[in-house]
A and B are shown apart, each in its own frame.
Chain A
Amino acid sequence: MLSFAISRLLRAGLTILFVMTFAFVVLRLSGDPALLIMSVDAPPEAIAAFRESWGLNQPIWDQYLAYIGHALTGDFGKSMRDGRPAIALVMERVPATLAITLPALALKIGLGIPAGIYAALHRNSMADRLTMAASVAGFTMPSFVLALLLVLVFAVQLGWLPASGSNGLSSAILPVLTLGTGGAAIMARFTRSAMLEVLGQPYIRAASAKGVTWRTVVTHHALPNAAIPTVTIVGFMVGSLVAGAVVVESVFSWPGIGRLLVSAVANRDLAVVQCILMVIAAWMVMANLAVDLAYGWLDPRVRGTAAAH
């Protein structure tokens, strides 16, 4: 079990390193921040001085090693815009993003899983068909379209909620709804198919043959098994808590990480973009790790193999 944990942690570290390297290389291939920040007609000496002060005139290898070396000590560089530490800029945006993604996650799980279970238990009923139709709609509609539709109805037509901004609870409702309904649709689909898969298994029929009541068959025999594949998709959603709202934040002018990422990319604020990507990667990796652990907890077969490694 210990060697399993260690190998998982090593892999997690490698994944993060890979993301950091990728971000570093791509950002340097995609344009010169000095020209962008200083503007093209700035005097050449000023541009040279800017490059000098940010280390951009160094060989790319040296820049990379310095970046990784600093990152290991917890220094992720400074914003080229206002000189503040990039990690501080990123961290102060995290709560705003979580303020909409966490309630959205609750909505996805709280709405999607029961809807999926209900649909599976009443397969081919009217309720099942309606749920699945709604799910396809939620699945396929891009979030910005849904966002604009919700704004049109609740902000423009009805005037109940603000169209954008971040003034208290009321302005969080539309972003949460936008994120939540799409995710709930995905969740419902996955839960339904996981449940149908399990309900078709021989052990379900065997449990019924044993005299177990249908309600207990569902709650004690089917649900724990259907939870195993469902955890994968929940883990994916937890992983996207930090970075999953870029479009929605932009539509609603919500001051979260997504907006920071968009503006930092536009401004070629290298340290900030790298830092955001690193935070996103670290969070994703942690979510995956949590999923692996949850598998072990839910599925004794996985537990057995993990211990055997």
Chain B
Amino acid sequence: MTAPLVAVRGLTVDFGGGTQDSRAVDAVSLEVAPGEALGIVGESGSGKSVTWLAALGLLPAKARVTGSVRLEGQELVGAPRGDLERVRGKRIAMIFQDPSSCLNPVHRIGRQLVEALALHRGLGGRAAEAEALRLLDQVGIADARRRLSDFPHLLSGGLNQRVMIAMALAGQPDLLVADEPTTALDATIQAQILALLAAIRRDTGMALVLISHDLGVVAENVDRVAVMYAGRLVEEAPGADLFGSARHPYTQGLLAALPALTGPRRRLTAIPGTVPEPGTMPAGCRFAPRCPVAETRCATVPPPSRTVGFLHVAACHRQVEAGLSVWSLPRAAE
């Protein structure tokens, strides 16, 4: 196996008090190989965005980050601001959920693109403008020359996300972290943006971390999926495996909540209850209160991550068999 591009080890993020209760991310470990596409799935508040904001040092000062994030051996957690600024955009670029509010409203698109080009490629003047045009062209923006002098509020959300992607490409990064890149967009635009990301990855060989709450969005676009719940990594598997053989009841619940395109019509299963609030985290497995197969120890002992198949890891006390969804079992407890 090749050396990972990014290795996250035991990353923990505390907001405020620093007690177990205020943890947004709890001992998360992940790896991203060069050129690989990793999907991270979870509900809002599961810590999937915070993990990557923490890696790039983009969290507010009150967040306490421990653990390790290594980019080809270079430690990013606790790195000096100057070092992080050289990583951001240049090695690891990031795009966000709401593209229209991520572009500065008082600067023209062109100026914001050129700023990135000047920072990472040392381009200026005509060379920068030509490269900005090429980037806008690469992300499929028609009439690029006119767009350069437009302000962000004149562009649609989809166009703005394309601009954000162009800006992220300006530094020719090794990894693009796309944090819910299509959540604020229409379904058709969503498909276009995902196709664009796939095409760029194919052309540039850049690695991609695709963060989404939508298992469907992630599944089609990545090599490997990591599922997060309430700040912890609960399951990790190659994309294809996860759909056929999810082992964690939470992942199975997410899959059961997806409508099937083929086969007999069936009632969609919803996971009962809600994600625990920070401050009321269960002591053991954080999913235990909502889990249909929880045992006594699940409430008190955090489950360790266990290898359950080839490159397939799940953190669950119950060794649920592959292919058997806990959500289709008769409910004994009820």
Partner-B contacts on A (CB < 8 A) = 201-203, 205-214, 220-221, 224-225, 228, 298-301, 304
Closest 3 CB pairs between A and B?
A211-B89, A206-B102, A211-B88
B58 adjacent to A208 (CB under 8 Å) = yes
Partner of A300, one of B58, B86, B105: B105
Report the interface size for chain B: residues with CB under 8 A from the other chain: 34
Return chain A residues, CB-CB under 8 Å to B87.
211
Return chain B residues, CB-CB under 8 Å to A221.
104, 107
B94 adjacent to A300 (CB under 8 Å) = no
CA gap between A300 and B115 in the complex, in Å: 19
A293 → chain B closest CB, angstroms: 16
Partner of B101, one of A203, A210, A213, A304: A203
CA gap between A301 and B101 in the complex, in Å: 13
A209 adjacent to B88 (CB under 8 Å) = yes
A299 adjacent to B105 (CB under 8 Å) = yes
CA gap between A242 and B96 in the complex, in Å: 49
Return chain A residues, CB-CB under 8 Å to B85.
211-214
Partner of B104, one of A214, A225, A304: A225
B106 adjacent to A206 (CB under 8 Å) = no
Give the secondary structure class of A's interface.
Answer: helix
A210 adjacent to B89 (CB under 8 Å) = yes
CA gap between A224 and B151 in the complex, in Å: 14
B103 adjacent to A211 (CB under 8 Å) = no
A209 adjacent to B93 (CB under 8 Å) = yes
Partner of A202, one of B56, B88, B101: B101
B94 adjacent to A225 (CB under 8 Å) = no
Closest B residue to A199 using CB positions: B60
Return chain A residues, CB-CB under 8 Å to B103.
203, 206
B106 adjacent to A209 (CB under 8 Å) = no
B89 adjacent to A203 (CB under 8 Å) = no
B167 adjacent to A202 (CB under 8 Å) = no
> Given that A210-B119, A211-B86, A299-B106 are known contacts, is A304 also in contact with B96, CB under 8 Å in the complex?
no
A298 adjacent to B119 (CB under 8 Å) = no
Closest B residue to A299 using CB positions: B106
B99 → chain A closest CB, angstroms: 9
> Given that A202-B98, A212-B115, A212-B119 are known contacts, is A207 also in contact with B104, CB under 8 Å in the complex?
yes
Return chain B residues, CB-CB under 8 Å to A211.
85-90, 116, 119-120, 171
Partner-A contacts on B (CB < 8 A) = 53, 56, 58, 81-82, 85-90, 93-96, 98, 101-107, 115-116, 119-120, 151, 153-154, 164, 167-168, 171
CA gap between A207 and B167 in the complex, in Å: 10
Return chain B residues, CB-CB under 8 Å to A300.
105-106, 151, 153
The A-B contact count (CB < 8 A) is: 80
Among A211, A300, A304, max chain B CB count under 10 A is at A211
Closest A residue to B102 using CB positions: A206
Return chain B residues, CB-CB under 8 Å to A201.
101
B164 adjacent to A304 (CB under 8 Å) = no
Return chain B residues, CB-CB under 8 Å to A203.
101-105
Return chain A residues, CB-CB under 8 Å to B167.
210
B214 → chain A closest CB, angstroms: 20
Return chain B residues, CB-CB under 8 Å to A202.
96, 98, 101-102
CA gap between A210 and B171 in the complex, in Å: 8
Closest B residue to A300 using CB positions: B151
Partner of B81, one of A205, A214, A301, A304: A214
CA gap between A225 and B101 in the complex, in Å: 13
B89 adjacent to A304 (CB under 8 Å) = no
A304 adjacent to B154 (CB under 8 Å) = yes
16 contacts between A and B (CB under 8 A): A203-B103, A205-B53, A206-B102, A209-B56, A209-B58, A209-B94, A210-B88, A210-B93, A211-B85, A213-B85, A228-B106, A298-B106, A300-B106, A300-B151, A304-B151, A304-B153
CA gap between A191 and B99 in the complex, in Å: 27
Partner of B58, one of A205, A298, A304: A205
Return chain B residues, CB-CB under 8 Å to A208.
58, 88
CA gap between A212 and B81 in the complex, in Å: 11
Return chain B residues, CB-CB under 8 Å to A220.
107, 115
CA gap between A201 and B101 in the complex, in Å: 7
Return chain B residues, CB-CB under 8 Å to A228.
106
A196 → chain B closest CB, angstroms: 12
CA gap between A210 and B120 in the complex, in Å: 9
A63 → chain B closest CB, angstroms: 51
CA gap between A1 and B153 in the complex, in Å: 19
CA gap between A163 and B94 in the complex, in Å: 62
CA gap between A149 and B88 in the complex, in Å: 53
A253 → chain B closest CB, angstroms: 46
Extra pairs beyond A209-B94, A224-B106, A301-B153 (12, CB < 8 Å)? A203-B102, A205-B58, A205-B102, A209-B88, A210-B167, A211-B89, A211-B90, A211-B171, A214-B85, A221-B107, A301-B105, A304-B151
Return chain A residues, CB-CB under 8 Å to B164.
206
